[in-house]
Amino acid sequence: MTAPPDKSPERIASMFDAIAARYDFLNHFLSVGLDRRWRTRAIADLHLPTKARVLDLCTGTADLAIEATTAAQGIRVVGIDFAGVMLHYALEKLRARRLDDVVALVRGDATRIPVRDQWADAATIGFGIRNVAQPEAALRELARVLKPGGRLGILEFGEPCIPGIRGMYNVYFRAVLPRLGRLVSKHQSAYSYLPASVGTFPPPQEFAATISSHGFSDVKAVSLTLGIVYLYTATRS
């Protein structure tokens, strides 16, 4: 069994800060632009009402938080991340789009969310839950800050279920992608960490059950793009 990679908060924050300048470009380039479609689908499935309050955990450079603002009128978002340089680039994007008064950015830990109980109508995480050393603690915190009936949407990488496609994808994901990521980001380990962290993340049914056991109901794991990504949706019980 493969040992899980080091997910200590200090290491993860340092790694993401080191690649922050090229993070958005690499997301779009390495996913062939599909990352935009995944985020659009995640927000659409939340069915956000007018004036909804949204918590975007592990917000990074705020792409998912920005997408949430397009869902309905009057939406307010709080984006939380513990990587300070990532938040710096997120703020630049928000100011360029004149959204810095709509999306507030807060430096904080996913296992100790600095938001009061039952504040949010919805919560999102885009490709961040597998980087949390204690995902169960993050889920408990999400259940705490969501109102009863509030919606949760989590995007996370998976593995294609069609055998031939899975084989080709794994060659790209485990051999080609880390080399491209190293070349562009100039970081020696960040894009090797990516397939390693995905490889040790629980399979969809298991993670859906974990969500269910931490204060959520109506949990669904929806395969996107042949299983390359899964969208987990749930309702706060």
Number of residues that make up the chain: 237
Q: Where are the alpha helices (DSSP H) in the chain?
A: 9-30, 34-44, 63-68, 84-96, 135-145, 163-171, 177-185, 190-199, 204-212
Distances, alpha carbon 121 to alpha carbons 55, 118, 142, 212, in Å: 8, 8, 11, 18
Structural domains present in the chain: 9-158+202-236 (3.40.50.150)
CA distance 157 to 5: 16
Dihedral angle sign, alpha carbons of residues 120, 126, 127, 128:
negative
CA distance 141 to 91: 24
What is the SS3 string spanning 45-81? CCCCCCCCEEEEECCCCCHHHHHHCCCCCCCEEEEEE
pLDDT tens digits, the chain, 237 residues: what are they?
A: 457 789 999 999 999 999 999 999 989 988 999 999 999 999 999 999 999 999 999 999 999 999 999 999 999 999 999 999 999 999 999 999 999 999 999 999 999 999 999 999 999 999 999 999 999 999 999 999 999 999 999 999 998 888 888 899 888 888 888 888 888 888 878 889 989 999 999 999 999 999 999 999 999 999 999 999 999 999 999
State the pTM of this model: 0.94
Number of other CB atoms surrounding residue 97 within 10 Å: 13
